[in-house]
Amino acid sequence: MTLQRLRLAKNEDKRLRSGHLWIYSNEVDTQATPLRNFSAGEQVIVENQQGKSLGVAYVNPQSLICARMMTNDERPVDLNTLKKRIKSALALREQLFDQPCYRLIYGESDLLPGLVVDRFGDHLCVQLNTAGMDAMRDIVIEALVRMLQPTSILLRNDAGVRKLEGLPLEVVTAYGEVPDEVELIENGVRFLAPLAAGQKTGWFYDQRPNREWLRNIAPGKRVLDVFSYVGSFGVQAAVFGADDVWCADISESALDMVHKNAELNGVADKLSTVQGDAFTTLKSLKEADERFDVIIVDPPAFIKRKKDQKEGILAYRRINEMAMRLLNDGGFLISGSCSMHMPREELLDLVRASARHIDRHAQILAEGMQGMDHPVHSAIPETRYLKAVLSRISRI
């Protein structure tokens, strides 16, 4: 395979030499190598202004991130390349986890930009989020089959980022027969997750270490899990010894799964569900004078784009303040944010500010991030996105 060359503008190779993998369209010397000459998903050799090769990337002229580096040599990415990268990623996860339940591939951090793979035992859920990775779908599936011998592979290619890449949204079976639900074990607790009908890949492995906090703070307590989805926090709280757990979510089907997961673990008698918008639910609970000892607030990304930062931070502050008003004196609050554009310092500050606004004192007990199956690429700060704060909220 003969690859075209993509030339960078003057001094635009510095970030790549530091290990970053992204090339923005304004970093390309479009006089020497017009972007219109490339096809979406095409592999190219990237060179600096002096013509020195930096490695192979795939391109997408339609995207702001117009290329993503794959190698530091000039050999095209093929099946063997993918197998080596998957082997390395698998070795890390098998060392870290005693159950085959984890994020197996985390895009750029595993040197496979645009590829996400979640493992649920013998079943895999895959996202091909870029044109370059989508162009390699056949060899991606072949590599996964050869390396893991899965029973099924589902492509959850319905993430909004595919629109930015000019790709269609789809949910399709790539291999085997995909079940409606898959079983996983997290922190010793069993769960069922909906693969095709659930959110994202069906489960959020990233919060695993932060859910472990509940083992120490939940026993004997009354717990409220806001934005509960299928009960990842709430059911674990019940298993860890909570007396009474309420799970609140807008999705009726998600709450049906909460009950199934509670029954699966023998804690159905401890668990109740509330369907509705989170802000409306918290307001209603306050009006009913309900009180809790532990509240988890783990919303979807309120800040999807940098320009939404101000409005999104206000939403995070409002939901955390509403939760604090429902806490008993000395109660615990777990505040989460999966918004990449929310700095950790901002989350800490809004917890403080929310507490002060209602005459409470917030003691920060722990900070968390995504689990080790979501490793951070040391040169790409964008790969560290999840923040979690455990605080104790007391009356002043």
Tell me the longest C-alpha to C-alpha distance in the chain. 70
What type of residue is 23? I
Q: Give rounded-to-5 percent helix, strand, coil for the chain.
A: 35, 30, 35
How many residues comprise the chain? 396
List the one residue out of 59, 29, 32 whose CA is nearest residue 45: 59
Backbone angles phi, psi at 336, to 5 degrees: -120, 155
Nearest to 126 by CA among 151, 163, 158, 100: 158
Is residue 125 part of the annotated active site? The answer reads no
- Are 8 and 25 within 8 A, CB to CB? no
* Catalytic residue (choose from 66, 101, 125, 338): 338
**Is the CB of residue 214 less than 8 Å from the CB of residue 232?**
no
Of 310, 341, 332, residue with least CA distance to 389: 332
Query: Starting from the edge strand earliest in sequence, which strands make up the sheet with 22-24, in order?
Result: 4-7, 43-47, 53-59, 65-69, 22-24
Task: Locate 173 and state its tokens.
Answer: 């079976």
Could you tell me where the DSSP H helices lie in 225-343? 232-239, 252-264, 278-287, 309-325
Ramachandran sector of residue 244 (left: φ over 0; alpha: ψ -120 to 50; beta: rest): beta
Residue with tokens 């270490």: 209
User: CA neighbours within 13 Å on the CB side: how many for 92?
Assistant: 17
> Active-site residue numbers?
338
